[in-house]
């Protein structure tokens, strides 16, 4: 496995903590330094992390590195997925794309916009639901504001159906699913119904930005949802 506490980016080696040969003792300040550097490579030189978001970042970091003790102290079940919520522009999509890079020794998830999945359903039908209800790792981005799917004249709540399938996978094999949303719990229930909302509680840990979190898109950081 090598040393998972060290990551090389752009010819520089970043240390995320201390590795004793069995596990890494992560240093949050070092992880943030690496994330700043990786963020600039991914999203452009204007990217930066915000001090106001450190509470959310700490939860996400502890979750990604599987620090079970810290997760439980913060009310996070490390065996569930993450539902990252917050207002438009606060940085949800960017963080979910970025945070997976601090643990390159784990299998990464793919970040897929919910609207793209619905577009796919409109073209090919229920095969799309099967494609995303499988054993791969996904983060469904911006759920709850996508259009209703429609194929051959029949409407389908595509993301709702996929979440039901992912819940079954979670119960069968522990496969985790992640998502981002601008909506609150009541809005999600209105969009997907009580049954799906109930499954979402079992499927996800809710990690939320403050509702007054600033819109960071004006800073020219790429893809700040």
Q: Quick: pLDDT tens for 148-157.
A: 999 988 999 9
pLDDT at 133: 86
Tell me the pLDDT band of 2, cut-offs 50, 70 and 90. confident
Q: What percent of the chain has pLDDT over 70?
A: 96
Q: Quick: pLDDT tens for 78-133.
A: 999 999 999 988 899 999 999 999 999 899 999 999 999 999 999 999 999 999 98
The correct CATH number of 6-219 out of 3.30.230.10, 3.20.10.10, 3.40.50.300, 3.90.1150.10 is: 3.40.50.300
CA distance 29 to 120: 41
Query: What does the domain layout of the chain look like in residue ranges?
Result: 6-219
128: β partners: none
Tell whether the torsion through CA atoms of 37, 84, 105 and 16 is positive or negative: positive
Kindly report the CA angle at 130 between 128 and 132, in degrees rounded to 5?
70
* 3-class DSSP assignment, residue 46: coil
pLDDT at 23: 87
pLDDT at 1: 53
pLDDT at 58: 96
CA distance 105 to 125: 35
- Radius of gyration of the chain from Cα atoms? 18
DSSP code for 188: H
CA distance 105 to 2: 9
Closest CA to 96 of 13, 177, 214, 192: 177
Burial of 183 (0-12, 13-18, 19+ CB in 10 A): middle
Q: What secondary structure does DSSP assign to 71-128, as a single string?
A: HHHTT--TTSEEEEE-STTSSHHHHHHHHGGG-TTSPPPEEEEHHHHHHHHHHHTTHH
Q: What's the distance, Cα to Cα, between the start and end of the chain in Å?
A: 34
pTM as predicted = 0.91
């Amino acid at each position: 496995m090598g040393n998972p506490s060290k990551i090389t980016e752009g010819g520089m080696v970043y240390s995320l903590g201390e590795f004793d040969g069995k596990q890494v003792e992560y240093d949050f300040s070092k992880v943030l330094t690496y994330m700043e550097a990786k963020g600039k490579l991914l999203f452009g030189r204007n990217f930066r992390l915000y001090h106001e978001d450190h509470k959310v970042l700490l939860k996400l970091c502890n979750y990604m590195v599987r620090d079970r003790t810290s997760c439980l102290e913060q009310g996070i079940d490390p065996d569930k997925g993450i539902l990252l919520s917050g207002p438009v522009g606060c940085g949800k999509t960017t963080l979910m794309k970025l945070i997976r890079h601090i643990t390159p020794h784990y299998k990464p998830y793919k970040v897929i916009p919910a609207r793209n999945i619905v577009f796919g359903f409109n073209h090919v039908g229920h095969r799309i639901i099967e494609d995303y209800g499988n054993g791969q790792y996904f983060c469904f981005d911006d759920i709850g504001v996508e259009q209703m799917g429609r194929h051959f004249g029949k409407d389908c709540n595509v993301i709702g159906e996929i979440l039901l399938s992912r819940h079954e996978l979670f119960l069968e094999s522990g496969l985790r699913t992640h998502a981002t949303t601008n909506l609150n719990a009541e809005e999600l229930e209105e969009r997907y119904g009580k049954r799906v909302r109930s499954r979402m509680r079992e499927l996800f840990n809710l990690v939320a930005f403050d509702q007054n979190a600033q819109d960071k898109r004006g800073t020219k950081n790429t893809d700040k949802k």
